[in-house]
Structure 1
Amino acid sequence: MTFTDIDYDKFRALRVTRVAARLEQLIGDEANDELTPEQLFLTAVDDALEDRRAHKVDKLIRAAGLPIPEANVAEIDYRGINPVRMKRYAAHDWAADPTNLLVISPTGGGKTYLACAIGIAACHNGHAVTYARMDSLARQLVITRADGIAHQKLLNDLSNTDLLIIDDFLTVGIDSDAASDLFAILANREHRLPTMIASQTGPAHWVAELPDRVAADSIVNRLANNARTINLGQIDMRRQRQDQARTTDGYWE
Protein backbone atom coordinates (compact mmCIF):
# COMPACT_ATOMS: atom_id res chain seq x y z
CA MET A 1 0.00 0.00 0.00
CA THR A 2 1.32 3.46 -0.92
CA PHE A 3 -0.24 6.77 0.00
CA THR A 4 -0.64 9.40 -2.74
CA ASP A 5 0.16 13.11 -2.61
CA ILE A 6 -3.54 13.76 -2.19
CA ASP A 7 -3.58 11.40 0.78
CA TYR A 8 -0.69 13.27 2.39
CA ASP A 9 -2.48 16.59 1.83
CA LYS A 10 -5.32 15.15 3.89
CA PHE A 11 -2.94 13.88 6.56
CA ARG A 12 -1.31 17.32 6.82
CA ALA A 13 -4.70 18.93 7.18
CA LEU A 14 -5.40 16.55 10.07
CA ARG A 15 -1.82 16.91 11.39
CA VAL A 16 -1.22 13.15 11.30
CA THR A 17 1.54 13.10 8.68
CA ARG A 18 4.00 11.30 10.97
CA VAL A 19 1.45 8.60 11.78
CA ALA A 20 0.74 8.08 8.10
CA ALA A 21 4.41 7.91 7.14
CA ARG A 22 5.16 5.41 9.89
CA LEU A 23 2.08 3.34 9.02
CA GLU A 24 3.25 3.16 5.40
CA GLN A 25 6.65 1.90 6.58
CA LEU A 26 5.07 -0.74 8.79
CA ILE A 27 2.78 -1.96 6.01
CA GLY A 28 5.73 -2.23 3.62
CA ASP A 29 7.69 -4.43 6.04
CA GLU A 30 6.99 -8.13 5.42
CA ALA A 31 7.78 -8.89 9.07
CA ASN A 32 4.46 -7.23 9.94
CA ASP A 33 2.29 -9.25 7.53
CA GLU A 34 0.59 -11.15 10.36
CA LEU A 35 -0.37 -8.01 12.29
CA THR A 36 -3.93 -6.77 12.08
CA PRO A 37 -4.70 -3.31 10.69
CA GLU A 38 -5.55 -2.18 14.20
CA GLN A 39 -2.17 -3.35 15.53
CA LEU A 40 -0.33 -1.63 12.70
CA PHE A 41 -2.23 1.61 13.27
CA LEU A 42 -1.64 1.63 17.04
CA THR A 43 2.06 0.88 16.54
CA ALA A 44 2.29 3.77 14.06
CA VAL A 45 0.59 6.07 16.57
CA ASP A 46 2.96 5.03 19.40
CA ASP A 47 6.02 5.48 17.18
CA ALA A 48 4.84 8.91 16.02
CA LEU A 49 4.23 10.03 19.60
CA GLU A 50 7.70 8.87 20.65
CA ASP A 51 9.21 10.68 17.67
CA ARG A 52 7.36 13.85 18.66
CA ARG A 53 8.51 13.50 22.28
CA ALA A 54 12.14 13.01 21.21
CA HIS A 55 11.92 16.06 18.93
CA LYS A 56 10.54 18.14 21.82
CA VAL A 57 13.32 16.96 24.15
CA ASP A 58 16.00 17.84 21.57
CA LYS A 59 14.45 21.28 21.18
CA LEU A 60 14.38 21.83 24.96
CA ILE A 61 18.03 20.78 25.33
CA ARG A 62 19.14 23.10 22.52
CA ALA A 63 17.14 25.99 24.00
CA ALA A 64 18.61 25.41 27.48
CA GLY A 65 22.10 26.46 26.36
CA LEU A 66 23.81 23.77 28.45
CA PRO A 67 27.60 23.70 27.89
CA ILE A 68 27.78 19.89 28.22
CA PRO A 69 24.75 18.65 26.23
CA GLU A 70 25.84 15.02 26.54
CA ALA A 71 25.94 15.04 30.36
CA ASN A 72 24.09 12.10 31.90
CA VAL A 73 22.98 11.51 35.48
CA ALA A 74 23.63 7.77 35.04
CA GLU A 75 27.33 8.45 34.42
CA ILE A 76 27.92 10.46 37.58
CA ASP A 77 30.25 8.50 39.85
CA TYR A 78 31.43 11.18 42.26
CA ARG A 79 32.21 9.92 45.73
CA GLY A 80 29.72 11.02 48.33
CA ILE A 81 26.73 11.28 45.97
CA ASN A 82 23.97 8.81 46.72
CA PRO A 83 22.78 7.16 43.45
CA VAL A 84 19.23 6.97 44.80
CA ARG A 85 19.27 10.72 45.43
CA MET A 86 20.51 11.35 41.88
CA LYS A 87 17.69 9.23 40.45
CA ARG A 88 15.24 11.39 42.38
CA TYR A 89 16.74 14.53 40.85
CA ALA A 90 16.60 12.93 37.40
CA ALA A 91 12.88 12.20 37.78
CA HIS A 92 12.02 15.39 39.68
CA ASP A 93 9.01 17.52 38.72
CA TRP A 94 10.70 20.92 38.82
CA ALA A 95 7.61 22.83 37.73
CA ALA A 96 5.68 21.52 40.74
CA ASP A 97 8.35 21.97 43.43
CA PRO A 98 9.88 25.45 43.97
CA THR A 99 12.68 24.13 46.22
CA ASN A 100 16.06 25.45 45.04
CA LEU A 101 19.16 23.30 44.60
CA LEU A 102 22.66 24.44 45.61
CA VAL A 103 25.63 22.54 44.17
CA ILE A 104 28.81 23.49 46.02
CA SER A 105 32.37 22.41 45.21
CA PRO A 106 35.81 23.92 44.59
CA THR A 107 36.99 24.42 41.01
CA GLY A 108 37.25 21.13 39.14
CA GLY A 109 34.76 19.44 41.44
CA GLY A 110 32.33 18.49 38.68
CA LYS A 111 29.54 20.89 39.55
CA THR A 112 29.00 22.07 35.95
CA TYR A 113 28.71 18.49 34.67
CA LEU A 114 26.31 17.65 37.49
CA ALA A 115 24.19 20.74 36.82
CA CYS A 116 24.05 19.93 33.10
CA ALA A 117 23.13 16.29 33.77
CA ILE A 118 20.24 17.30 36.01
CA GLY A 119 19.19 19.96 33.49
CA ILE A 120 19.15 17.44 30.64
CA ALA A 121 17.12 15.01 32.75
CA ALA A 122 14.67 17.86 33.38
CA CYS A 123 14.40 18.43 29.60
CA HIS A 124 13.66 14.73 29.11
CA ASN A 125 10.80 15.18 31.59
CA GLY A 126 9.40 18.02 29.49
CA HIS A 127 10.64 20.97 31.56
CA ALA A 128 11.95 24.21 30.09
CA VAL A 129 15.49 24.81 31.36
CA THR A 130 17.73 27.87 31.09
CA TYR A 131 21.46 27.68 31.84
CA ALA A 132 23.61 30.77 32.40
CA ARG A 133 27.06 31.41 33.81
CA MET A 134 26.86 34.25 36.34
CA ASP A 135 29.45 36.50 34.69
CA SER A 136 27.85 36.06 31.27
CA LEU A 137 24.37 36.62 32.68
CA ALA A 138 25.48 39.82 34.44
CA ARG A 139 26.89 41.18 31.16
CA GLN A 140 23.72 40.25 29.30
CA LEU A 141 21.55 41.99 31.88
CA VAL A 142 23.67 45.15 31.68
CA ILE A 143 23.71 45.18 27.86
CA THR A 144 19.95 44.75 27.50
CA ARG A 145 19.30 47.69 29.84
CA ALA A 146 19.83 49.93 26.78
CA ASP A 147 16.62 48.45 25.34
CA GLY A 148 13.78 48.48 27.84
CA ILE A 149 11.68 45.93 25.93
CA ALA A 150 14.56 43.48 25.47
CA HIS A 151 15.58 43.90 29.10
CA GLN A 152 12.09 43.20 30.40
CA LYS A 153 11.76 40.18 28.10
CA LEU A 154 15.01 38.76 29.46
CA LEU A 155 13.82 39.27 33.04
CA ASN A 156 10.50 37.61 32.21
CA ASP A 157 12.16 34.65 30.47
CA LEU A 158 14.51 34.05 33.40
CA SER A 159 11.66 34.47 35.89
CA ASN A 160 9.39 31.95 34.17
CA THR A 161 11.59 29.11 32.93
CA ASP A 162 10.79 25.87 34.79
CA LEU A 163 14.38 25.43 36.01
CA LEU A 164 16.93 28.25 36.04
CA ILE A 165 20.55 27.10 36.39
CA ILE A 166 23.14 29.74 37.33
CA ASP A 167 26.68 28.37 37.19
CA ASP A 168 29.87 29.86 38.70
CA PHE A 169 27.65 31.91 40.97
CA LEU A 170 29.53 34.97 42.27
CA THR A 171 32.92 33.56 41.37
CA VAL A 172 33.53 37.19 40.47
CA GLY A 173 31.62 40.17 41.78
CA ILE A 174 28.73 41.87 39.95
CA ASP A 175 27.69 45.51 39.88
CA SER A 176 24.65 46.97 41.62
CA ASP A 177 22.50 46.99 38.45
CA ALA A 178 23.08 43.29 37.83
CA ALA A 179 22.45 42.57 41.51
CA SER A 180 19.17 44.49 41.31
CA ASP A 181 18.09 42.43 38.29
CA LEU A 182 19.13 39.21 40.03
CA PHE A 183 17.00 40.18 43.02
CA ALA A 184 14.00 40.82 40.72
CA ILE A 185 14.41 37.44 39.00
CA LEU A 186 14.69 35.51 42.26
CA ALA A 187 11.82 37.43 43.83
CA ASN A 188 9.64 36.55 40.84
CA ARG A 189 10.61 32.87 41.08
CA GLU A 190 10.22 32.56 44.85
CA HIS A 191 7.54 30.03 45.88
CA ARG A 192 6.81 29.39 42.17
CA LEU A 193 9.81 27.88 40.40
CA PRO A 194 13.20 26.49 41.48
CA THR A 195 16.66 27.87 40.81
CA MET A 196 19.80 25.74 40.74
CA ILE A 197 23.03 27.42 41.83
CA ALA A 198 26.45 25.91 41.11
CA SER A 199 29.21 27.68 43.01
CA GLN A 200 32.67 27.33 44.50
CA THR A 201 31.46 29.10 47.62
CA GLY A 202 28.47 29.13 49.94
CA PRO A 203 25.86 31.65 51.12
CA ALA A 204 28.15 33.42 53.60
CA HIS A 205 30.57 34.33 50.80
CA TRP A 206 27.73 35.43 48.50
CA VAL A 207 26.57 38.04 50.99
CA ALA A 208 30.07 39.50 51.12
CA GLU A 209 30.45 39.56 47.32
CA LEU A 210 27.22 41.42 46.52
CA PRO A 211 27.53 45.21 46.38
CA ASP A 212 24.55 46.16 48.56
CA ARG A 213 24.14 44.48 51.96
CA VAL A 214 20.34 44.79 52.07
CA ALA A 215 19.95 43.38 48.54
CA ALA A 216 22.57 40.74 49.36
CA ASP A 217 20.62 39.51 52.38
CA SER A 218 17.42 39.35 50.30
CA ILE A 219 19.06 37.49 47.41
CA VAL A 220 20.86 34.95 49.58
CA ASN A 221 17.79 34.47 51.78
CA ARG A 222 15.66 33.61 48.75
CA LEU A 223 18.26 31.17 47.46
CA ALA A 224 19.38 29.40 50.61
CA ASN A 225 16.39 29.26 52.97
CA ASN A 226 14.32 27.07 50.67
CA ALA A 227 16.98 24.82 49.20
CA ARG A 228 18.50 21.38 49.04
CA THR A 229 22.29 21.21 48.93
CA ILE A 230 24.73 18.89 47.17
CA ASN A 231 28.25 19.36 48.55
CA LEU A 232 30.78 17.69 46.28
CA GLY A 233 33.62 18.02 48.77
CA GLN A 234 37.24 18.46 47.74
CA ILE A 235 37.46 16.02 44.81
CA ASP A 236 39.06 17.50 41.67
CA MET A 237 37.07 15.67 38.98
CA ARG A 238 39.07 17.23 36.14
CA ARG A 239 42.28 15.77 37.55
CA GLN A 240 40.59 12.45 38.30
CA ARG A 241 39.27 12.14 34.72
CA GLN A 242 42.71 13.07 33.37
CA ASP A 243 44.32 10.37 35.52
CA GLN A 244 41.77 7.83 34.26
CA ALA A 245 42.44 8.86 30.66
CA ARG A 246 46.16 8.19 31.12
CA THR A 247 45.39 4.53 31.82
CA THR A 248 43.46 4.00 28.57
CA ASP A 249 44.94 2.49 25.40
CA GLY A 250 46.12 5.03 22.90
CA TYR A 251 46.62 7.85 25.38
CA TRP A 252 49.61 10.04 24.71
CA GLU A 253 50.95 13.39 25.90
Structure 2
Amino acid sequence: MTQSIALNQMSKMKFHGMIEAYKTILDSNKHHDLSPEELINHLLQAEWEERENRKINRLYRTAKFRYSATVEELEFSAHRGLDKMQLLRLADMSFVKRKENILITGATGSGKSYIASALGNQACMQGVKTQYYNTTKLFPKLKMLKADGSYIREVARIEKQDLLLLDDFGIQQLDDMARMALLEIIEDRHGRASTIVVSQLPVTKWFETIGDSTIADAILDRLVHTAHRIELKGESMRKKQ
Protein backbone atom coordinates (compact mmCIF):
# COMPACT_ATOMS: atom_id res chain seq x y z
CA MET A 1 0.00 0.00 0.00
CA THR A 2 2.83 2.38 0.94
CA GLN A 3 4.57 1.68 -2.35
CA SER A 4 1.47 2.47 -4.41
CA ILE A 5 0.98 5.72 -2.48
CA ALA A 6 4.59 6.68 -3.12
CA LEU A 7 4.22 5.96 -6.86
CA ASN A 8 1.00 7.93 -6.98
CA GLN A 9 2.64 10.93 -5.33
CA MET A 10 5.61 10.72 -7.71
CA SER A 11 3.17 10.68 -10.61
CA LYS A 12 1.34 13.76 -9.36
CA MET A 13 4.65 15.60 -9.01
CA LYS A 14 5.67 14.38 -12.50
CA PHE A 15 8.80 12.61 -11.25
CA HIS A 16 8.85 10.32 -14.29
CA GLY A 17 12.47 9.22 -13.98
CA MET A 18 12.00 8.47 -10.32
CA ILE A 19 8.86 6.42 -11.04
CA GLU A 20 10.63 4.18 -13.56
CA ALA A 21 13.63 3.70 -11.28
CA TYR A 22 11.41 2.85 -8.31
CA LYS A 23 9.36 0.37 -10.35
CA THR A 24 12.55 -1.32 -11.54
CA ILE A 25 13.82 -1.66 -7.97
CA LEU A 26 10.47 -3.08 -6.80
CA ASP A 27 10.26 -5.53 -9.71
CA SER A 28 13.77 -6.79 -9.04
CA ASN A 29 13.01 -6.94 -5.30
CA LYS A 30 16.26 -5.10 -4.55
CA HIS A 31 14.71 -2.41 -2.36
CA HIS A 32 15.44 -4.55 0.69
CA ASP A 33 19.16 -4.48 -0.14
CA LEU A 34 19.36 -0.68 -0.24
CA SER A 35 19.72 1.61 2.74
CA PRO A 36 17.31 4.58 2.85
CA GLU A 37 20.17 6.88 1.82
CA GLU A 38 21.14 4.64 -1.12
CA LEU A 39 17.52 4.40 -2.26
CA ILE A 40 17.03 8.18 -2.14
CA ASN A 41 20.30 8.83 -3.99
CA HIS A 42 19.38 6.29 -6.67
CA LEU A 43 15.93 7.78 -7.22
CA LEU A 44 17.22 11.35 -7.31
CA GLN A 45 19.92 10.41 -9.83
CA ALA A 46 17.35 8.70 -12.04
CA GLU A 47 15.08 11.74 -11.93
CA TRP A 48 17.94 14.13 -12.68
CA GLU A 49 19.10 12.04 -15.68
CA GLU A 50 15.57 11.77 -17.05
CA ARG A 51 15.06 15.53 -16.85
CA GLU A 52 18.43 16.20 -18.48
CA ASN A 53 17.55 13.86 -21.36
CA ARG A 54 14.19 15.58 -21.79
CA LYS A 55 15.92 18.96 -21.84
CA ILE A 56 18.43 17.82 -24.47
CA ASN A 57 15.68 16.34 -26.66
CA ARG A 58 13.67 19.55 -26.35
CA LEU A 59 16.67 21.68 -27.30
CA TYR A 60 17.41 19.46 -30.29
CA ARG A 61 13.81 19.55 -31.56
CA THR A 62 13.62 23.32 -31.16
CA ALA A 63 16.96 23.90 -32.93
CA LYS A 64 15.70 22.33 -36.21
CA PHE A 65 19.11 21.46 -37.62
CA ARG A 66 19.54 20.79 -41.31
CA TYR A 67 21.20 17.45 -40.63
CA SER A 68 21.04 14.97 -37.78
CA ALA A 69 24.82 15.03 -37.49
CA THR A 70 27.34 14.25 -34.74
CA VAL A 71 30.99 15.14 -34.31
CA GLU A 72 31.86 11.43 -34.16
CA GLU A 73 30.55 10.96 -37.72
CA LEU A 74 32.72 13.66 -39.30
CA GLU A 75 35.36 12.68 -41.84
CA PHE A 76 38.76 14.17 -41.08
CA SER A 77 40.64 13.20 -44.25
CA ALA A 78 43.56 15.53 -45.04
CA HIS A 79 42.27 16.66 -48.44
CA ARG A 80 39.21 18.30 -46.83
CA GLY A 81 41.28 20.78 -44.86
CA LEU A 82 39.37 19.86 -41.72
CA ASP A 83 41.63 19.99 -38.66
CA LYS A 84 40.55 17.25 -36.25
CA MET A 85 42.17 18.85 -33.21
CA GLN A 86 40.53 22.20 -33.96
CA LEU A 87 37.11 20.57 -34.36
CA LEU A 88 37.45 18.60 -31.13
CA ARG A 89 38.45 21.77 -29.27
CA LEU A 90 35.37 23.53 -30.65
CA ALA A 91 33.20 20.54 -29.73
CA ASP A 92 33.85 21.11 -26.02
CA MET A 93 31.76 24.30 -26.41
CA SER A 94 34.30 26.49 -24.63
CA PHE A 95 33.95 28.93 -27.54
CA VAL A 96 30.31 29.42 -26.49
CA LYS A 97 31.40 30.26 -22.95
CA ARG A 98 33.83 32.80 -24.40
CA LYS A 99 31.11 34.23 -26.71
CA GLU A 100 33.22 33.53 -29.82
CA ASN A 101 32.06 32.91 -33.39
CA ILE A 102 32.85 30.24 -35.99
CA LEU A 103 32.99 30.89 -39.75
CA ILE A 104 32.72 27.80 -41.97
CA THR A 105 33.41 28.26 -45.69
CA GLY A 106 33.88 25.95 -48.64
CA ALA A 107 32.48 24.88 -51.98
CA THR A 108 28.95 23.57 -52.47
CA GLY A 109 28.61 20.05 -51.07
CA SER A 110 31.87 20.21 -49.08
CA GLY A 111 30.08 19.39 -45.83
CA LYS A 112 29.83 22.85 -44.26
CA SER A 113 26.23 22.54 -43.08
CA TYR A 114 26.88 19.04 -41.79
CA ILE A 115 29.78 20.26 -39.63
CA ALA A 116 27.68 23.18 -38.33
CA SER A 117 24.83 20.80 -37.51
CA ALA A 118 27.24 18.45 -35.72
CA LEU A 119 28.52 21.31 -33.57
CA GLY A 120 24.95 22.43 -32.94
CA ASN A 121 23.96 18.93 -31.85
CA GLN A 122 26.97 18.82 -29.53
CA ALA A 123 25.85 22.15 -28.07
CA CYS A 124 22.36 20.79 -27.34
CA MET A 125 23.88 17.76 -25.62
CA GLN A 126 25.65 20.16 -23.28
CA GLY A 127 22.46 22.11 -22.58
CA VAL A 128 23.26 25.07 -24.84
CA LYS A 129 20.19 26.82 -26.24
CA THR A 130 20.72 26.63 -30.01
CA GLN A 131 18.83 27.60 -33.16
CA TYR A 132 19.49 26.86 -36.84
CA TYR A 133 18.38 29.14 -39.68
CA ASN A 134 18.87 29.05 -43.42
CA THR A 135 19.49 32.70 -44.30
CA THR A 136 17.75 32.40 -47.68
CA LYS A 137 14.56 31.67 -45.72
CA LEU A 138 15.24 33.74 -42.61
CA PHE A 139 15.40 37.20 -44.17
CA PRO A 140 12.23 36.82 -46.29
CA LYS A 141 10.49 35.53 -43.16
CA LEU A 142 11.62 38.57 -41.17
CA LYS A 143 10.38 40.83 -43.96
CA MET A 144 6.94 39.23 -43.72
CA LEU A 145 6.96 39.59 -39.94
CA LYS A 146 7.63 43.32 -40.35
CA ALA A 147 4.20 43.57 -41.97
CA ASP A 148 2.26 41.86 -39.17
CA GLY A 149 4.16 43.48 -36.29
CA SER A 150 5.84 40.34 -34.91
CA TYR A 151 9.33 41.19 -36.24
CA ILE A 152 10.65 42.51 -32.92
CA ARG A 153 9.51 39.40 -31.06
CA GLU A 154 11.19 37.06 -33.58
CA VAL A 155 14.48 39.00 -33.58
CA ALA A 156 14.45 39.02 -29.77
CA ARG A 157 14.04 35.22 -29.82
CA ILE A 158 17.00 34.90 -32.19
CA GLU A 159 19.16 37.13 -30.03
CA LYS A 160 18.42 35.07 -26.89
CA GLN A 161 19.97 31.91 -28.35
CA ASP A 162 23.28 30.92 -26.76
CA LEU A 163 24.38 29.58 -30.15
CA LEU A 164 22.95 30.75 -33.49
CA LEU A 165 23.62 28.90 -36.77
CA LEU A 166 23.23 30.95 -39.95
CA ASP A 167 23.51 28.62 -42.94
CA ASP A 168 23.90 29.41 -46.67
CA PHE A 169 24.96 32.98 -46.02
CA GLY A 170 25.86 34.90 -49.18
CA ILE A 171 23.88 32.85 -51.69
CA GLN A 172 21.71 35.91 -52.25
CA GLN A 173 22.76 39.56 -52.22
CA LEU A 174 21.32 41.27 -49.15
CA ASP A 175 18.73 43.98 -49.67
CA ASP A 176 18.26 46.96 -47.34
CA MET A 177 15.90 45.14 -44.98
CA ALA A 178 18.12 42.02 -44.76
CA ARG A 179 21.23 44.14 -44.11
CA MET A 180 19.58 45.99 -41.26
CA ALA A 181 18.15 42.78 -39.78
CA LEU A 182 21.55 41.09 -39.90
CA LEU A 183 23.21 44.13 -38.33
CA GLU A 184 20.64 44.19 -35.55
CA ILE A 185 21.11 40.48 -34.82
CA ILE A 186 24.91 40.56 -34.90
CA GLU A 187 25.11 43.84 -32.95
CA ASP A 188 22.96 42.55 -30.11
CA ARG A 189 24.81 39.21 -29.95
CA HIS A 190 28.30 40.70 -30.12
CA GLY A 191 30.21 39.82 -26.95
CA ARG A 192 27.09 38.19 -25.49
CA ALA A 193 26.54 34.99 -27.49
CA SER A 194 28.11 32.85 -30.22
CA THR A 195 27.21 32.59 -33.88
CA ILE A 196 28.22 30.04 -36.52
CA VAL A 197 28.04 31.37 -40.09
CA VAL A 198 28.17 28.92 -43.00
CA SER A 199 28.91 30.16 -46.52
CA GLN A 200 30.11 28.87 -49.87
CA LEU A 201 31.78 32.26 -50.35
CA PRO A 202 35.18 33.02 -48.81
CA VAL A 203 35.05 35.59 -46.03
CA THR A 204 36.79 38.12 -48.32
CA LYS A 205 33.63 38.16 -50.49
CA TRP A 206 31.18 38.82 -47.62
CA PHE A 207 31.71 42.59 -47.74
CA GLU A 208 30.49 42.63 -51.32
CA THR A 209 27.50 40.37 -50.52
CA ILE A 210 26.30 42.58 -47.67
CA GLY A 211 26.40 45.58 -49.98
CA ASP A 212 26.38 48.83 -48.05
CA SER A 213 29.98 49.55 -47.02
CA THR A 214 29.17 51.19 -43.69
CA ILE A 215 26.84 48.40 -42.59
CA ALA A 216 29.18 45.73 -43.96
CA ASP A 217 32.06 47.18 -41.92
CA ALA A 218 29.92 47.16 -38.77
CA ILE A 219 28.73 43.56 -39.29
CA LEU A 220 32.09 42.06 -40.25
CA ASP A 221 33.96 43.89 -37.51
CA ARG A 222 31.73 42.23 -34.92
CA LEU A 223 31.42 38.88 -36.66
CA VAL A 224 34.90 38.13 -37.99
CA HIS A 225 37.13 39.54 -35.27
CA THR A 226 38.71 36.67 -33.26
CA ALA A 227 36.37 34.16 -34.99
CA HIS A 228 37.46 30.56 -35.48
CA ARG A 229 37.83 29.73 -39.19
CA ILE A 230 37.09 26.40 -40.86
CA GLU A 231 37.92 26.58 -44.58
CA LEU A 232 37.01 23.34 -46.32
CA LYS A 233 38.73 22.14 -49.47
CA GLY A 234 38.32 19.35 -51.99
CA GLU A 235 35.47 17.97 -54.05
CA SER A 236 31.83 17.79 -53.11
CA MET A 237 31.12 15.18 -50.45
CA ARG A 238 27.73 14.55 -52.06
CA LYS A 239 29.37 13.72 -55.40
CA LYS A 240 31.85 11.46 -53.62
CA GLN A 241 29.03 9.56 -51.92
Same fold (TM over 0.5): yes
How far, CA to CA, are the matches of 1:21 and 1:3 in structure 2?
13
Instruction: State the identity as a percent.
Output: 28
How far, CA to CA, are the matches of 1:73 and 1:17 in structure 2?
30
How far, CA to CA, are the matches of 1:191 and 1:156 in structure 2?
16
Deviation above 6 Å: which 4+ runs of structure 1? none
Deviation at 1:119, TM superposition (A): 0.1
Indicate whether 1:233 and 2:233 are aligned.
yes
- Quote the residue 1:131 is aligned against: 132
How far, CA to CA, are the matches of 2:135 and 2:155 in structure 1?
14
Indicate whether 1:41 and 2:40 are aligned.
yes
Relative to the length of structure 1, the TM-score reads 0.86
Q: Identify if the C-alpha distance between structure 1 residues 31 and 10 changes in structure 2 by more than 3 Å, giving closer, same or farther.
A: closer
Q: Which amino acid aligns with 1:72?
A: T
Indicate whether 1:10 and 2:9 are aligned.
yes
Q: Which amino acid aligns with 1:46?
A: Q
Once the two structures are overlaid, the 10-residue window that deviates more, 80-89 or 205-214, is 80-89
Q: Which amino acid aligns with 1:232?
A: L
Q: Which amino acid aligns with 2:139?
A: A
How far, CA to CA, are the matches of 1:31 and 1:3 in structure 2?
14
How far, CA to CA, are the matches of 2:6 and 2:46 in structure 1?
20
- Quote the residue 1:102 is aligned against: 103
User: Considering only aligned residues, what root-mean-square deviation do their CA atoms show, in Å?
Assistant: 2.1
Q: Which amino acid aligns with 1:49?
A: W
Q: How does 1:46-57 map to 2 (within 5 A)?
A: 46-57=45-56
Q: Which amino acid aligns with 1:238?
A: R
Structure 2, unaligned runs of 5 or more? none
Q: Identify if the C-alpha distance between structure 1 residues 83 and 203 changes in structure 2 by more than 3 Å, giving closer, same or farther.
A: closer
- Quote the residue 2:217 is aligned against: 217
How far, CA to CA, are the matches of 2:162 and 2:202 in structure 1?
24
Relative to the length of structure 2, the TM-score reads 0.90
How far, CA to CA, are the matches of 2:30 and 2:71 in structure 1?
37
Q: Which amino acid aligns with 1:43?
A: H
Alignment check: 8 A CA contact 1:26 1:44 kept: no
Deviation at 1:216, TM superposition (A): 1.5
- Quote the residue 1:120 is aligned against: 121
Deviation at 1:97, TM superposition (A): 1.4
- Quote the residue 1:142 is aligned against: 143
Alignment check: 8 A CA contact 1:103 1:199 kept: yes
Q: Deviations over 1:84-126 (max 9, x none)?
A: 3222222114542111100111001000100000000000010
- Quote the residue 2:21 is aligned against: 22
- Quote the residue 2:206 is aligned against: 206
**Aligned residues between the structures:** 238
Structure 1, unaligned runs of 5 or more? 243-253
